[in-house]
């Protein structure tokens, strides 16, 4: 199954200075591939789920890489390279430093809703560079962006409102823990659908 997800830019939701190059590259789309029997289980934890990986479209030798087929099953991959799962921060830094558009370099393999959430979260990182010194706020922007993109693509994904609400609530719990760790107040999640739809409308092309 191959789906082109719309990933329009989402407004800055966190204090200025959290990112040093917010939206350096306006996000457009993310190609997502999954086996037909992918899991719609909406349970989310703070850990990256297995079998979620960014596969390289072209040779990207400056990023840490591993064979994609070690991580993505059921997609018929052979010798394709993937961004090593530990290399998300490297990709965030290096794609920005070299001004390489993420959608020219990578597509997402994920076989679960949790994998799709974290893949979209990372997709937000790749388009918004920051020093990552304010982790809770940085992650908050990426969580909220991932939730907005999931809602915007709900028909293509086959995601219903209860599943989205459940993801949003789980993301809120994970985010609140980060804020607690940094001694900050609780972030403004969970999101409601009306808020997310406003962001998506604002980013829709005019004309
Ligand atoms: Zn993150």
If you measure from the C-alpha of residue 203 to the centroid of ligand 1, how many angstroms do you get, rounded to a whole number? Answer: 22
Burial of 203 (0-12, 13-18, 19+ CB in 10 A): middle
State the distance from the centre of ligand 1 to the C-alpha of 84, rounded, in angstroms.
15
Q: pLDDT tens-digit profile of 51-104?
A: 999 999 998 999 999 999 999 989 999 999 999 999 999 999 999 999 999 999
CA of 207 to the centre of ligand 1 (A): 34
Which position has the higher pLDDT, 186 or 104? 104
What does the buried/exposed string (b/e) look like for 134-146 if buried means 16 or more CB atoms within 10 Å of the residue's CB? bebbbbbbbbbbb
Domain ranges of the chain: 2-203
| Secondary structure (DSSP) of 88-108 | HHHHHHHHHHTT--HHHHEEE
The CA 139 to ligand 1 mean position distance, Å, reads 5
**How far away, in angstroms, is 122 Cα from ligand 1 center?**
6
Residue 39: how many CB atoms within 10 A of its CB?
17
């Amino acid at each position: 199954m191959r789906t082109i997800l719309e990933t329009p830019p989402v407004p800055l939701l966190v204090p200025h200075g959290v990112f040093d190059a917010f939206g350096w590259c306006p996000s457009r789309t993310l190609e997502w591939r999954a086996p037909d029997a992918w899991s719609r289980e909406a349970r989310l934890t703070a850990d990256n789920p297995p079998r979620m990986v960014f596969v390289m479209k072209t040779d990207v030798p400056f990023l840490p890489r591993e064979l994609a087929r070690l991580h993505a099953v059921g997609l018929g991959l052979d010798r394709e390279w993937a961004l090593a799962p530990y290399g998300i921060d490297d990709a965030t830094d290096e794609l920005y430093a070299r001004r390489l558009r993420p959608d020219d370099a990578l597509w997402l393999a994920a076989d679960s809703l949790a994998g799709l959430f974290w893949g979209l979260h990372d997709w937000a990182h790749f388009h918004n560079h920051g020093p990552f010194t304010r982790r809770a706020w940085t992650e908050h922007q990426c969580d909220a962006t991932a939730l907005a993109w999931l809602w915007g693509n709900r028909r293509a994904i086959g995601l219903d409102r209860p599943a989205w609400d459940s993801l949003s609530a789980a993301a809120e719990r994970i985010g609140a823990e980060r804020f607690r760790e940094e001694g900050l107040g609780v972030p403004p999640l969970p999101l409601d659908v009306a808020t997310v739809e406003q962001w998506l409308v604002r980013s829709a092309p005019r004309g």
